[in-house]
Amino acid sequence: MPSEDLRAYSDIVIDHFQHPRNAGVLDDANAVGEDRNPVCGDHMRLMLRIEDDAIREARFQTRGCPAAIATSSMATVVLTNMHIDDAAALKRQDFVDAVGGLPKAKIHCSVLAAAALKRALTDYRERAGAGRSE
């Protein structure tokens, strides 16, 4: 990854970039969502373990810029112990706000977390639907 000047980022972004929370594979995930930025090629995979319609655990794997990694990391923190209806209501801007804002040119990097979350929740609903015996 090319090194990037971190001075434009908030302290929260730098902290989560340098010390990502919940990075790695979640073996017993029952909801998985991925997204890839078509412009830069950065990629995020979000894995959730949902029980009783609440997100009990969240992990991520992201290959991308500091903003993408920080918003991915923060997303897993925000999502842990959140009801899936509340998670579904989250917008890209919520992740931007949670990391203390992003430089204008980096706002698009937060799309990865929002899009991966949306897909993970769709995956969860599809799996739940497939498991019904009606």
Can you tell me the distance from the alpha carbon of 70 to that of 61, in angstroms, rounded to the nearest whole number?
A: 11
Can you tell me the distance from the alpha carbon of 79 to that of 21, in angstroms, rounded to the nearest whole number?
A: 12
Going by C-beta distance under 8 Å and a sequence separation of 6 or more, which residues neighbour residue 77? Answer: 21, 22
Which of 105/130 has CB closer to ligand FES? Answer: 105
Collapse the DSSP code of 89 into the 3-class scheme (helix H, G, I; strand E, B; otherwise coil) and give the result: coil
Q: Does 68 bind ligand FES (CB under 6 A)?
A: yes
Q: How far is the CB of 43 from ligand FES (least distance, A)?
A: 9
The question of whether 40 is a catalytic residue gets the answer yes
- The answer to whether residues 10 and 99 touch, using CB atoms and an 8 Å cutoff, is yes
Residue in 67, 87, 102, 117 binding ligand FES, rule: CB under 6 A = 67
Over the range 53-76, which residues count as b (16 or more CB within 10 Å of their CB) and which as e?
A: ebbebbbbebebbbbbbbbbbbbb
Q: How far is the CB of 51 from ligand FES (least distance, A)?
A: 31
Q: How far is the CB of 42 from ligand FES (least distance, A)?
A: 3
Contact pattern for ligand FES over residues 91 through 120, marking x by CB under 6 A: ---------------x--x--x--------
Q: Does 40 bind ligand FES (CB under 6 A)?
A: yes
Which residues of the shown chain bind ligand FES in the complex (CB under 6 A)?
A: 37, 40, 42, 64-65, 67-68, 106, 109, 112
Task: Give the residue numbers annotated as catalytic, written as ranges.
Answer: 40, 109
